[in-house]
Chains A and B, each alone.
Chain A
Amino acid sequence: MTALRPDLAVIADHIAPGSRVLDVGCGDGALMVALREQKGVDARGIEIDAKNVAAAVARGLSVVQGDADTDLAEYPDDAFDFAVLSQTLQTTRAPHVVLDELLRIGRRAFVSFPNFAHWRVRLSLLWGGRMPVTRTLPHGWYDTPNIHHVSIGDFRAFVKERGIHVEQAWFLSGDRSRSSAAANFRAEHAVFLLRR
């Protein structure tokens, strides 16, 4: 098995065996496979891309083709212990609505996203005057799926404003962990564990 993406590895490490998990934007199901194999978790997934869905279902996973922006409303309250939204928040049309839905469906939610205030991004804008194309943000301005650019600072303020509790947060550069201090400058990725 190939190594899990660092943010997914953090999430997989912190989900208890036997939990009910919904992975929103599950891609080809890498996290769900890890949860099944390591934790015996029968996770459910939502994914927008048909090829990814087909790949995930072919791996024996329960994945539904759907859109985080429109299809979360169909899930009942408290249906899951954890709702996971990895690298997807910044691609949704209404991130605030999606986050509310996550915390309605799941008792807790893992949210991971690329930090748009990482120093490489800042430098690119400051010195290059160009929208950044980096290791973690590989798309050009015209074809990027990331339509809501969010920084760790933005996200902290956002959840505070909405009265959402941050149970834990992890900050990553590549697969290395960063401290919370100066994370908004030094971390490429953030993972937040939230509860209502």
Chain B
Amino acid sequence: MNDNRRNGHGRSWHSDAPFPLDGGGSLAGLDIAYETYGELAADRGNAILICHALSLDQFVASVNPVTGKPGWWTRLVGPGLPIDPARHFIICANILGGCMGSTGPASIDSATGAAYGMHFPVITVRDMVRAQALLLDHLGIARLHAVIGGSMGGMQVLQWAATFPDRVAAAIVIAAAARHSAQNIAFHEVGRQAIMADPNWHDGNYGEAGPTAGLAVARMAAHITYLSEEGLTEKFGRRLQARDAKSFGFDADFQVESYLRHQGLSFTERFDANSYLYITRAMDYFDLAEEHGGLLANAFRGAKTRFCLISFDSDWLYPTAEMRLIVHALNAAGAPVSFVELSSPFGHDAFLLDMPEMNRVIDGFLRAGRA
């Protein structure tokens, strides 16, 4: 590579080739924004692809230029950590449909010269993965040492293993599922309806002043699903926010209200509402068994990929039972699989927090592949 910019470089790859989509039709071209850390080994065998979740981005281990905050997975990715730029060539790309530089609803449609908005085609998790595969082609990486992700990132990992089994040596799936449950679809629909009910949405044709109120409500509802009752109780209980008594009004009396409002509002400063609609839709449509004759095991038949699956006992959004379905399918397909349910009070978001046991499992699993 002649690109000698180092970490935090905000790289982007552009393709002029039409990109066909699962839902029919195609995009005229493709932009993929991505970050890399570390150096690709001479044998090109040390590449790890990190797939990000719904509301995250490619800034996995470097400062996010929009928020100014550190990368979102610096507890797992960094010097001396299980995914280490000193040993691995680490890639994380903003997903197709995203709003951090990759092609999405806010991108300019070359046919009209205006933002796609709701003219952006509905995409799938497989479309996201195919776009990542093209990026890897561009980077000269035929086969990944590992692909890893949590939540929707985990869905992408499963899709990677099913769609490109020969390109994935090891797959790490954290707090995810092979299909979106009715409950998960339901929560997403609440979020989408909140956005669409915002008068500033304008059927997706908003300018600078987007549907921030609707997007904030969507984020608030979703954020609850990422936590747990125990975690919320521990963190907030019924404590009041900067006051000694209830106001007998509708201010954010309770700390938990104030926290959620803050989460909602800060989300609108970094996320595009239409992107939120399209990405949640892609997640709802995700059902890996469906594209394999209804039998999940068929998705992994004959695969040589090693799998490591991790769930959390307090995660009710992607519960252990969903993860076990994947384990059973992998066993039926004869794939080498490890699975553990770790204990945490923090619900779905546990995978982003300080989880020494998760790090130990991932480190051991990754090192086993270097033998």
Contacts and interface: CB of A to CB of B under 8 A. Distances in A.
A54 B360 contact: yes
> Which of A56, A58, A76, A79 neighbours the largest number of chain B CB atoms within 10 Å of its CB?
A58
A33 to B, nearest CB: 11
Interface string A24-65: 000000000000000000101000001001101111111111
Interface string A57-91: 11111111110000100111001000000000000
B340 A59 contact: no
A62 B338 CA distance: 5
Nearest to A45: B338
Contact of A50 (B332, B337, B340): B340
Q: How large is the interface on A (under 10, 10 to 19, 20 to 34, 35 or more residues)?
A: 20 to 34
Contacts of A66: 324, 327, 339
B327 A64 contact: yes
B339 A60 contact: no
Contacts of B357: 54
The dominant DSSP class at the A interface is mixed
Contacts of A56: 338
B368 interface: yes
A176 to B, nearest CB: 35
Given A64-B339, A76-B332, A54 B368 contact: no
Nearest to A56: B338
Contacts of A58: 360-361, 363-365
Nearest to A74: B328
Nearest to B365: A57
B341 A50 contact: yes
Contact of B368 (A53, A60, A74): A60
B115 to A, nearest CB: 46
Interface string B315-353: 000000000100110011010111111110000000000
A71 B336 CA distance: 16
A139 B106 CA distance: 65
A63 to B, nearest CB: 5
A76 B332 CA distance: 6
Given A74-B331, A79-B334, A59 B364 contact: yes
B361 A57 contact: yes
Contacts of B182: none
A65 B306 CA distance: 16
A75 B361 contact: no
Interface string B237-281: 000000000000000000000000000000000000000000000
A54 B360 CA distance: 7
B173 interface: no
27 contacts: A44-B336, A50-B340, A50-B341, A50-B343, A53-B338, A53-B340, A54-B340, A57-B338, A57-B340, A57-B365, A58-B365, A59-B364, A59-B368, A60-B364, A60-B367, A60-B368, A60-B371, A62-B306, A64-B331, A64-B337, A65-B339, A65-B341, A74-B328, A74-B331, A76-B331, A79-B331, A79-B334
Given A58-B361, A74-B331, 18 more contacts: A53-B338, A53-B339, A53-B340, A54-B360, A56-B338, A57-B308, A57-B338, A57-B364, A58-B365, A59-B364, A60-B364, A60-B365, A60-B368, A63-B339, A65-B340, A74-B328, A76-B334, A79-B334
